[in-house]
Amino acid sequence: MEKINEGRVALVTGAGRGIGREHALLLASTGAKVVVNDLGGATDGEGTDASPAEGVVAEIEAMGGEAVVNGGNVAVMDDAQAMVQQAIDTFGGLDILINNAGILRDRMVFSMSESDWDAVINVHLKGTFAPTNAAAIYWRERSKAGEENDARVINTTSPSGIYGNIGQSNYGAAKAGIAAFTHITAQELTRYGVTCNCIAPAAFTRMTAELPGFAGMDEEMQEKMGPRWIANVVTWLASPAASGVTGRCFDVVGSRIGIAEGWVLGPQAEQTEDPAGLGDVVAGLMADARLNANMFGVPEEGPGRPAKTI
């Protein structure tokens, strides 16, 4: 494995299992020193367990790398600051932040409780903001002191957030927010030598194993859809080679990689002064507009995907 991240320091949240674990292991194998953050809770966010993160650190050390466990809560500002400070104190700095931690509490909107909504939004959206805020302060202070950064923020959105998925209004809303946060943060941090990108991954993990499309997947397909492919993209984005890539959302499914293009202004028309006349105007716009994409990023008709006409 080429050491494309030799000497760089990475903080990976939610790195005890699944995609986060693969991020940490591949970063380490390419030379990075890694802070392995994980609360070790269940997929719905309940409970704590340090052993998954400890296991990843042990794997990294066994391959001759350097890593340390962090058990902080990504959605708590003080914990986020502490994990960034741990990277600085332990390894001398921070070059890479990968916001990966997440939970699932899927419900149809009419069955969703306030706690289902709050927990998912908190972990995903605030849990992306809090570590980024702490890291950005560190990099800005370095820049103001005359030091150069070649730093990375890599966030985790989802096809559910950028395309939409039934039963995941909380998760999708959080992930859509992360995509927007990525785009804006990229603009804000570029002057400080920091890039910010996000990935929209689809992979077979414990969080997706029971979801439609993944449940019952055979071993061959599980391998093809393994999280290792997601880590491959992230590890390159974390490297110095990606210094010119920022503000992008990478859709990664198995070995396929693409760029998800964001909202763009489509067909336009002049309004009528009387609201009653807007029916024909909107019908014309609908006829000319592309349909919303499905979970594969492809516009098509179907349940929840209205046809162009009204």
Pairing of the two strands 67-70 and 249-253: unpaired
Give pLDDT, residue 213. 59
Contact 173, 121 (CB under 8 A): yes
Give pLDDT, residue 6. 98
Enter the tokens of residue 267: 């067909």
Active site residues: 158, 171, 175
Task: State which amino acid sits at residue 54.
Answer: E
Phi, psi of 218 (to 5 degrees): -75, 170
CA distance 14 to 153: 15
**Residues of the chain scoring pLDDT < 50:** 303-310
Give pLDDT, residue 202. 86
Enter the tokens of residue 126: 């605030």
Q: Which of 170, 59, 55 is nearest to 110 (CA)?
A: 170
Residue-wise pLDDT for 257-288, tens only, equals 999 998 999 999 999 999 999 999 999 999 99
Predicted TM-score (pTM) of the model is 0.90
Q: What are the structural domains, with CATH classification, of the chain?
A: 9-259 (3.40.50.720), 265-310 (no CATH)
Residue-wise pLDDT for 2-53, tens only, equals 999 999 999 999 999 999 999 999 999 999 999 999 998 777 777 778 999 9
Give pLDDT, residue 66. 98
Contact 189, 139 (CB under 8 A): yes
Q: Which of 85, 86, 91, 74 is nearest to 28 (CA)?
A: 91
